[in-house]
Chain A
Amino acid sequence: MPFAPIPKSLADLRRVPHLGNYEEARRTFSWEAARAELDGLPGGQGLNIAHEAVDRHACGPRRNKIALRWLGKNGESRDIRYDELGESTSRFANVLDQLGIVAGDRIYALLGRIPELYIAALGTLKHRSVFCPLFSAFGPEPIRARLQIGQGRVLVTTPELYTKKIAPLWAQLPDLEHVLVVGQPPAAGPAIHDLRALLERASSKYRIPPTDPDDQALLHFTSGTTGTPKGAIHVHAAVIAHQATGKLALDLHDEDIFWCTADPGWVTGTSYGIIAPLACGVTSIIDEADFEARRWYGILQDERVSVWYTAPTAIRSLMRVGTETAREYDLRPLRFLASVGEPLNPEAVVWGREAFGRPFHDNWWQTETGGIMIANYAALEVRPGSMGRPLPGIEAALVETLADGTIREITCPDEQGELALRPGWPSMFRGYWNEPARYAKCFASGYYLTGDLARRDADGYYWFVGRKDDVIKTSGHLIGPFEVESLLMEHPAVAEAGVIGKPDPVALEIVKAFVVLKPGRIGDAALMRDLLGFGRQRLGAAVAPKEIAFVESLPKTRSGKILRRLLKARELGLPEGDVSTLESA
């Protein structure tokens, strides 16, 4: 084994870990017991995420504790105590009431990491409406698709994002009734509101109505190989898993300062950037700015971050900056490092020891699972390159789907299969918005099929192998090739497009498009620039292709489907495999 397992000793831990003995924790854990650690709504009125994350602390011993410490990109900062967060989220819920919004309505946010994003998320949950975050770097196309699919009734955004991305689209969004802007409304009209003015006028008292644990709470969009983006629905019971995994996988303790660097536009930034740390009652750091090595080291040092949850792209960038830079900072409070988004290469796991005196702990989960499913733990040996072992309460397996649609479970060590999970954990998605057939296709023989390929070693550690489908993993985000191909084909010069993830040392993959031009169009530098710009303008930099190649034709199956795998094999100079179903073979 090129990277030896990293043992743990009690001295490494500094705190008695929530999970000390793995086998015993798996044996004794139950979701009922995890549920019992939460309060539930007063009077047995059910279970609501916002009560567990905010209100129970706001009227308890943590009321004066800092819930969120916000760091602005221009050096400003703002502390929000639990009691203040309780009041501001109540105001938001009252604003929704005043607008005639009801339980189950979808409230979207298109915001950078500013305090109002967190207030809107938790206020929406109090109100029992459904919160749907959009990544603020999305271009107009991904925004339009997601707002249309989820039939958003309210959107919270900034004046700048409104003017640039929403105003030109609004006519195509018949369900969107209200836009709440953080700042001076850029246009007049009964449907555009100044959110801060509304919050100020609203009452700071709000009693959360009875909430069924199975009531819809969150809508998170993700991408498949084909078709439109899918809206994964999560329910209020998910908070049971958020709190339990916050403790078991991230080892959050009351006195921790926690920094999850993910943007709430993606599921990690909501589950672990908003809900889990608050449910665990810790202080959470929010940085408005984007990644910059010295800024990040400065935050880790100055805020005395003790538990840090970040992503491989950032870790690899820090590695490139060099260990000496890390050593310039006093990072002694840091005691637990975790990573998610894509598999963390073993070099980076080990580099954690060199730079911070402790390894990174990779873990695995996805939008559909709502919370961490497989993890390396504070108290357990880390196997560099492995995603770790299933959490207590999670039953994982590797399976092969047979020709008749049933599955075969793989039990031999080190044999590759599709990672599958036994449904039943509270943060499991309960549907794709308005697409029951697509949801049903995710299950077979009593398993949820994740679409990720993995293997398991003889000791039960799981190792990521790749995706079963053509979904692209870039900088921790999933991108559906179809969404990008469809957009490129709207360009007047493009006849066809095939999009793949091209391996990249920093981002894991980057989006690369192979484009067939219409007859008479010439693939010169000017057209290349035009197409790159077209993609960026419509999809946003986070989704648009970073590279475009002009090709004569695309490889296809006899039925006309683009063979993205073959495009990828050619890009990598790999053997092209079985080409018997190829059109041009």
Chain B
Amino acid sequence: MNEVQIRETVLHVLGAIAPEADLSQLNPEARLRDQLDIDSMDFLNFVIGLHDELHVDIPEKDYGQLATLAGCVQYLIAAMGRPGSRRAE
């Protein structure tokens, strides 16, 4: 999976949690929680959704790295490249 596909997957998962949001307007460098109305339960569901779609384990101590869209993509690229991770094809 390349960066573009990962970004699309992230946006797809976000769209399921906050369907009211216009994700085309997201600033990739700004915090998701400053741009979208997302509470802590939504954020947990976001992580679960990423896991379901991409089959990567995201330990809770890493959640801070998922604060922005760019951070999510970067983190997931690294995580999917880790040995032992199940690559989504």
Which A residues have a C-beta under 8 Å from some C-beta of B? 73, 137, 139, 290-295, 313, 317, 320-322, 325, 474-475, 504, 506-507, 510, 529-530, 532-534, 536-537, 540-542, 546
Contact = CB atoms under 8 A, between A and B. Distances in A.
Contact of B19 (A295, A313, A533): A533
A546 B41 contact: yes
Nearest to A321: B60
Question: Which of A474, A533, A536 gathers the greatest number of chain B CB atoms within 10 Å?
Answer: A536
A325 B63 CA distance: 13
Question: Which of A292, A313, A530, A540 gathers the greatest number of chain B CB atoms within 10 Å?
Answer: A292
Nearest to B21: A533
A534 B39 contact: no
A533 B16 CA distance: 9
Contacts of A475: 39-41
Given A536-B18, A536-B20, A510 B41 contact: yes
Contacts of A290: 33, 40
Contacts of A532: 19-20
B80 interface: no
B40 A533 contact: no
Interface of B: 15-16, 18-21, 31, 33, 37-42, 44-45, 59-61, 63-64, 67
8 smallest A-B Cβ distances: which pairs? A533-B20, A533-B19, A529-B19, A321-B60, A537-B20, A541-B39, A541-B37, A320-B60
Contacts of A474: 41
Given A475-B40, A533-B20, 14 more contacts: A137-B37, A137-B39, A139-B37, A291-B40, A294-B64, A295-B64, A504-B41, A529-B16, A533-B18, A534-B20, A536-B19, A536-B20, A540-B37, A546-B45
B71 to A, nearest CB: 12
A506 B61 contact: no
Contacts of A325: 61
A300 to B, nearest CB: 15
B60 A317 contact: yes
Given A290-B40, A475-B40, A541-B42, A530 B19 contact: yes
A558 to B, nearest CB: 36
Given A293-B63, A320-B60, A507 B41 contact: yes
29 contacts: A73-B31, A290-B33, A290-B40, A291-B40, A292-B63, A292-B64, A293-B60, A293-B61, A317-B40, A321-B59, A321-B60, A321-B61, A322-B59, A322-B60, A322-B61, A325-B61, A506-B41, A507-B41, A510-B41, A529-B16, A530-B19, A532-B19, A532-B20, A533-B18, A533-B19, A534-B20, A536-B37, A540-B37, A541-B37
A289 to B, nearest CB: 9
Contacts of A546: 41-42, 45
Contact of B64 (A139, A293, A313): A293
Contacts of B38: 541
B20 A506 contact: no
Contacts of B18: 533, 536, 541
A312 B5 CA distance: 37
Contacts of A530: 19
A295 B20 CA distance: 29
B28 to A, nearest CB: 17
Contacts of B16: 529
A140 to B, nearest CB: 11
Contacts of B67: 292
Contacts of B33: 290
Contacts of A291: 40
A475 B41 CA distance: 9
A295 B38 CA distance: 18
B87 to A, nearest CB: 25
Nearest to A474: B41
Nearest to B37: A541
A506 B60 contact: no
Nearest to A528: B19
B60 to A, nearest CB: 4
Question: Which of A139, A532, A541 gathers the greatest number of chain B CB atoms within 10 Å?
Answer: A541
A328 to B, nearest CB: 9
B66 to A, nearest CB: 10
A552 B67 CA distance: 40
Contacts of A541: 18, 37-39, 42
A295 B63 CA distance: 11
Nearest to A328: B61
Nearest to B33: A290
B31 to A, nearest CB: 8
